[in-house]
Homo-oligomer: A and B are copies of this chain.
Amino acid sequence: MGLEDKIRRVTPYTPGEQPKGAGIIKLNTNENPYPPSPMVREALEAAAAGGKTDELRLYPDPAASDLTCAIASAYGLSPEEVFVGVGSDDVLAMSFLTFFNSDIPILFPDITYSFYDVWAELFRIPYEQVPLDDNFEIRAEDYRRENGGIVIANPNAPTGALLRPEEIEEIVRSNPDSVVIVDEAYIDFGGISALPLIRKYENVVVVQTFSKSRSAAGLRIGWAMAGKKLIRYLSDVKYSFNSYTMNRPSIEIGTACVRDGAYFRECCAKIRATRERTAEELRGLGFAMRDSSANFLFVTHPEVPAETIFEELKARGIYVRWWNRPRIRNHLRITIGTDDEMRTLAAALGDILGKTV
């Protein structure tokens, strides 16, 4: 057996482009157009002050207790109900590894966050992709059958479709023998969180992130909320192979970030308002879309192929997301930016479509 035979070969994932340059409008990775809370800057200044940087010689607190407590406090939980990780990708991957440990296939939608099947493959977890209906909706009743676990993004990505709290509860209630992970990366932009379920059911895990509504994708922080038992299992698995993952600056800055609830709610409200205005403008240009509960719109145009619009926008310095994948290749996912950015987008789309906005 030769060297190359022993090496794992994969098709590398292509993340959304990270274009640099003045005048670029970046609406392709669902980042928040507003800066993080001013408290973040204060935390960074504090981290740079006095002898504070000397502490960087020491390992961080493996439990990231300050951050865990701040999140628990923001959501009315005890710290034993919270698990933090390096972005929700890390938290979700750890959750797959911990909770999806049987030979029965796990279930998730055919159109959803693109890492679910990747993690299942990585950890050799059998899985089945449950098709969304023709309106790109998740049907709760499709998840009422034997399974090794369930993961649902709510709102779903890239569709922006939202399940109502009763629908999520129905999935959790009808699967007492499986862990149901609810990935709420976008919940703050218009949905109702499944969080209350964690004290009612022992089989539900709610995952959220700093990358979207908290304006801090650059910090790489995500967290899970669940009953104490599931959180303990998750921590045990995590500590069993990597004790220290959250670095000291992240813990300090993240703690400040999550404490500023008022700022965060204000940004979310601005984004919702911009989203509704943009949706109206784009519908005026002939785009079809469903209502979005996230910080993006998932749109299609009856006359011009999505790929063409994608390329034309890029030529104008506006980056949106397009996937060359079955069922969705005639759709674009457009992140909600500032009002100014969205006005520029609408004008560019009008130009591309030969219409006046």
- Chain B residues with CB under 8 A of A262: none
A247's contact among B44, B124, B237, B250, by CB below 8 Å, is which?
A: B250
| In the complex, residue of chain B having the shortest beta-carbon distance to the beta carbon of A220 | B247
Which of A235, A240, A242 has most B Cβ within 10 Å?
Answer: A242
A24 to nearest B CB, angstroms? Answer: 11
Copies of this chain held together in the complex? 2
Q: How large is the interface on A (under 10, 10 to 19, 20 to 34, 35 or more residues)?
A: 35 or more
Q: Does A10 belong to the interface (CB within 8 Å)?
A: yes
With A and B bound together, what is the CA distance between A215 and B54 in angstroms? Answer: 9
Per-position 1/0 for A57-73, Cβ under 8 A of B: 11111100000000000
A12 touches B248 (CB 8 A): no
Beta-carbon contacts under 8 Å, A79-129 to B: 86-87, 89-90, 93, 97-102, 104, 115, 118-119, 122, 124
Which of A59, A60, A89 has most B Cβ within 10 Å?
Answer: A59
Beta-carbon contacts under 8 Å, A224-259 to B: 230, 233, 235-237, 239-250, 253
- Chain B residues with CB under 8 A of A166: none
Q: Does A35 belong to the interface (CB within 8 Å)?
A: yes
A156 to nearest B CB, angstroms? Answer: 20
- Chain B residues with CB under 8 A of A45: 45, 48
- Chain B residues with CB under 8 A of A236: 9-12
Interface of A is mostly: loop
A253 touches B244 (CB 8 A): no
- Chain B residues with CB under 8 A of A243: 13, 15, 89
Stretch touching chain B among A171-179, A186-194, A318-326, A342-350: A171-179
A sample of 20 more A-B contacts (CB under 8 A), given A3-B176, A35-B51, A118-B240, is A1-B177, A6-B100, A6-B104, A6-B149, A7-B99, A10-B240, A15-B239, A18-B58, A18-B62, A26-B58, A41-B48, A44-B47, A44-B249, A48-B48, A58-B217, A87-B244, A90-B242, A124-B124, A217-B244, A220-B244
